[in-house]
C-alpha cells in the first residue's frame, strides 16, 4: 500500500506511513487489488453514516496503469458498497488528475461539487 501510494501520489514513504497510521479508524477500510499473487493497486473507503461511502487514496501501480486494473478495482468496490446499502458513493480525487476523472466519468460518476485545497509554507509564519 505504501509503495503504490507513494509512486502514484508522489509523497514520501515516511509521510505516507504517518498518514496511514493517523487514518486507521474503524469506519475506514483499505482494499488491495490483486492479479493472481501480484498486488496491483489499492483503494480506501471511509464510511459516513449508514448510507454514504467516500472512496479515496485510490491508486494502481504506475508501471501497470492502463490495463483495466483501476476500473476493475473501482467497480468491485462500488458493487461492495451498494451490497452493504451504501446508496451515496462519493469520490475524493485531485481535480488535476485527468485520467482518474475520465475513469470515474466512464463508469457513471459525475462532478456535483468541487473543493480546492491550499498549501501554505509554515516556515514563512515563524
Taken in order 48, 86, 58, 25, the sign of the CA dihedral is positive
Rounded to whole angstroms, how far apart are CA atoms 34 and 29?
16
pTM for the model: 0.82
Angle at 55 between CA 62 and CA 63, to 5 degrees: 5
Instruction: Quickly state the pLDDT bin for 94 (edges 50, 70, 90).
Output: confident
Residue 56 CB-density burial (10 A; 0-12 exposed, 13-18 middle, 19+ buried): middle
Report the pLDDT value the prediction gives residue 123, as an integer from 0 to 100.
82
Rounded to whole angstroms, how far apart are CA atoms 92 and 45?
10
Q: Among 8-22, 28-42, 54-68, 102-116, name the one with the lowest average pLDDT.
A: 102-116
Rounded to whole angstroms, how far apart are CA atoms 45 and 27?
8
Query: Which cell goes with 113?
Result: 461539487
Instruction: Quickly state the pLDDT bin for 75 (edges 50, 70, 90).
Output: very high
Residue 27 and residue 14 in contact, taking contact as beta carbons nearer than 8 Å: no
The neighbouring-strand residues paired with 30 are 44
32 pLDDT more than 90: yes
Amino acid at each position: 500500500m505504501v509503495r503504490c501510494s507513494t509512486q502514484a501520489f508522489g509523497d514520501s514513504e515516511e509521510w505516507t506511513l504517518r498518514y496511514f497510521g493517523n487514518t486507521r479508524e474503524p469506519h475506514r477500510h483499505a482494499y488491495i487489488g490483486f492479479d493472481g499473487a501480484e498486488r496491483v493497486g489499492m483503494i480506501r473507503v471511509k464510511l459516513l453514516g449508514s448510507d454514504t461511502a467516500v472512496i479515496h487514496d485510490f491508486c494502481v501501480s504506475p508501471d501497470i496503469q492502463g490495463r483495466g486494473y483501476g476500473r476493475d478495482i473501482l467497480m468491485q468496490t462500488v458493487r461492495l458498497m451498494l451490497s452493504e446499502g451504501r446508496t451515496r458513493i462519493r469520490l475524493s480525487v485531485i481535480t488535476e488528475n485527468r485520467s482518474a476523472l475520465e475513469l470515474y466519468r466512464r463508469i457513471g460518476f459525475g462532478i456535483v461539487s468541487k473543493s480546492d485545497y491550499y498549501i501554505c509554507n509554515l516556515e514563512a509564519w515563524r
